[in-house]
C-alpha cells in the first residue's frame, strides 16, 4: 500500500493567515500610489482591485508618508482610482522554481508568456533574498568551453566565473550571447532580457 505524505499541506495550513488586511487608494501621483492602510511592511505585495472590475493589479510597498502607504505597481495602472480596494497578501514577491521552468519563457514576474499553459505548482522562492557569503563561494578551477574558439583559446572562461561583455550598439553583443547559448557545454541556459532586450526574445 502506498503512503501519501501530507506534510506540505500541514505546513501550508500552519502558515496560513486567515485575516485579510485591506485599505483603499487615496491618490495616485505619477507611478506612485498612496493608500490608507492596510497594515503592511516594506517589500510586501498587495493586490489593487480596479474600479472597472478587471483583474487585480499587483503592487509592491516601497515606503510610507504621513500614515499613508506608498505602492509601486507591477503592471499597468489603468482602472485604479481613489477608493480602489487594496489587499495585503502578507508576503513578498515570489516565483516558482523547478524543472518545470525548462524551455519556458516568462515575464518579469515569473508568469509564462509562451502559450504553453500555466506552470505546475512547484517550490516558490522569494525574488528578494540575502546574497550568498562571498567567502563560501567555490574557487574557479575548472574551465568551461563556450564553443567559440576565439574565446576558448584566448579568453578561457571558468565554471562559475562571472564575466561582462561591453561594447557600442550594433557591434554584436546579442549575436555573441546567442552563439554562447547554442554552443556552450552548460546543461541549462538561463537568459534574462532586460528592458528593450525583450524585443530579441525570439
Convert the pLDDT of each residue in 47-96 to its tens digit: 999 877 678 999 999 999 988 999 999 988 888 889 999 999 988 888 88
| 8 A C-beta contact, residue 185 and residue 157 | no
Q: How many angstroms separate the Cα of 72 from the Cα of each of 52, 84, 114, 191?
A: 20, 15, 26, 26
- Residue 18, pLDDT above cutoff 60: yes
**Residue 48 — φ and ψ, nearest 5°?**
-115, 120
Confidence class for position 3, pLDDT limits 50, 70, 90: low
pLDDT at 1: 54
pLDDT at 183: 92
Residues 24 and 42: their CA atoms lie apart, in Å, by 17
Q: Which three cell numbers stand for residue 139?
A: 574557487
**Closest Cα partner for 38 from 75, 73, 70, 82?**
70
In whole numbers, what is the pLDDT of the chain averaged over residues? 87
Least confident residue range of 53-67, 92-106, 115-129, 178-192: 115-129
Among 1-5, 15-19, 75-79, top mean pLDDT goes to 75-79
Mean pLDDT, to the nearest integer, of 93-104?
Answer: 88
Q: What does DSSP assign to residue 82? A: T
List of domains in the chain: 9-92 (2.40.30.20), 98-200 (3.40.50.300)
The number of beta carbons lying within 10 Å of the beta carbon of residue 33 is 25
Q: What does DSSP assign to residue 187? A: S
Convert the pLDDT of each residue in 145-163 to its tens digit: 999 999 999 999 999 888 8
Helix, coil or strand: residue 78 = coil
**Closest Cα partner for 77 from 111, 51, 95, 110?**
51
Q: Provide Rg for the chain, Cα atoms.
A: 22
Amino acid at each position: 500500500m502506498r503512503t501519501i505524505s501530507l506534510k506540505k499541506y500541514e505546513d501550508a495550513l500552519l502558515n496560513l493567515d486567515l485575516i485579510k488586511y485591506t485599505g483603499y487608494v487615496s491618490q495616485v501621483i505619477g507611478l506612485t500610489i498612496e493608500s490608507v492602510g492596510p497594515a503592511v511592511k516594506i517589500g510586501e505585495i498587495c493586490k489593487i482591485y480596479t474600479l472597472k472590475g478587471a483583474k487585480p493589479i499587483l503592487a509592491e510597498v516601497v515606503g510610507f508618508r504621513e500614515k499613508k502607504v506608498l505602492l509601486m505597481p507591477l503592471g499597468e495602472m489603468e482602472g485604479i482610482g481613489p477608493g480602489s480596494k487594496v489587499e495585503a497578501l502578507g508576503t513578498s514577491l515570489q516565483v516558482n522554481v523547478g524543472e518545470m521552468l525548462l524551455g519556458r519563457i516568462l515575464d518579469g514576474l515569473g508568469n509564462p508568456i509562451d502559450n504553453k499553459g500555466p506552470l505546475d505548482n512547484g517550490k516558490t522562492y522569494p525574488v528578494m533574498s540575502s546574497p550568498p557569503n562571498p567567502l563560501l563561494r567555490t574557487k574557479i578551477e575548472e574551465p568551461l568551453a563556450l564553443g567559440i574558439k576565439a574565446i576558448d583559446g584566448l579568453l578561457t572562461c571558468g565554471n562559475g566565473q562571472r564575466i561582462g561583455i561591453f561594447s557600442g550598439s550594433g557591434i554584436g553583443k546579442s549575436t555573441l550571447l546567442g552563439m554562447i547559448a547554442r554552443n556552450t557545454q552548460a546543461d541549462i541556459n538561463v537568459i534574462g532580457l532586460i528592458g528593450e532586450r525583450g524585443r530579441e526574445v525570439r
